[in-house]
């Protein structure tokens, strides 16, 4: 069941990425930059490999585009685990307002270095993530997110990693 959910999330994030590539060139005028600082547990589902993680993500809101799938924008970021594993990524996310909450799925291909952490099987990894957040003030939000990192069977093995994070987002 979990594998089916992960495959579905990955598929949806791929659709978001492709849609962003062909989205309208209509710019949404809001604040220019959103910074997301997050911390959580890397690979919480693997007792032998779980590790604390810290991350940082940047979104330039001047590059937001409206499409039939919602408001899409590029993101770039990185995370570091307590075991010195590093994942640097860039990709696309979508924003959906659902009442007081904002739902944000994303897809980000990236480069992974295991350090002293888990061997994910390849240097190229793909992160599919879903975040739920709420406004704290006009320019800041708090949220929780879940992601799955996988190499899509590019390597000889593909163990994947499931992580959860608490996010603080600030617009400048």
pLDDT reading at 172 higher than 90: no
pLDDT digits (tens, 9 = 90+) for 8-28: 666 656 655 665 555 554 444
Local structure of 166: helix, strand or coil: strand
- Ordered domains of the chain (ranges, CATH): 2-171 (2.40.160.20)
pLDDT digits (tens, 9 = 90+) for 91-103: 999 999 998 999 9
The residues, any chain, with a CB within 8 Å of residue 4's CB and separated by 6 or more, are none
pLDDT value at position 28?
47
Question: Mean pLDDT over residues 69-82, rounded?
Answer: 93
pLDDT value at position 48?
84
DSSP run (H or E) holding 13: helix 2-21
pLDDT digits (tens, 9 = 90+) for 132-149: 999 999 899 999 999 999
CA distance 77 to 75: 7
pLDDT digits (tens, 9 = 90+) for 35-64: 999 999 999 998 888 999 999 999 987 788
Which residue has better confidence, 170 or 69? Answer: 170
- pTM score of the predicted model: 0.80
């Amino acid at each position: 069941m979990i594998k089916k959910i992960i495959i579905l999330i990955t598929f949806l994030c791929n659709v978001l990425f492709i849609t962003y590539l062909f989205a309208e060139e209509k710019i949404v005028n809001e604040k220019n930059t959103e910074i997301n600082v997050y911390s959580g547990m890397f690979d919480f589902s693997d007792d032998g490999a779980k590790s604390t993680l810290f991350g940082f993500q940047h979104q330039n809101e001047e590059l937001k585009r409206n499409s039939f799938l919602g408001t899409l924008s590029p993101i770039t970021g990185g995370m570091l685990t307590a075991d010195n594993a590093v994942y640097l990524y860039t990709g696309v996310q979508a924003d959906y307002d659902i009442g007081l909450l904002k739902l944000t799925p994303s897809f980000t291909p990236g480069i992974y270095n295991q350090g002293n952490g888990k061997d994910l099987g390849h240097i190229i990894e793909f992160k599919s993530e879903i975040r739920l957040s709420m406004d704290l003030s006009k320019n800041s939000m708090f949220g929780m997110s879940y992601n799955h990192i996988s190499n899509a069977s590019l390597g000889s093995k593909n163990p994947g990693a499931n992580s959860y994070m608490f996010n603080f987002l600030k617009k400048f």
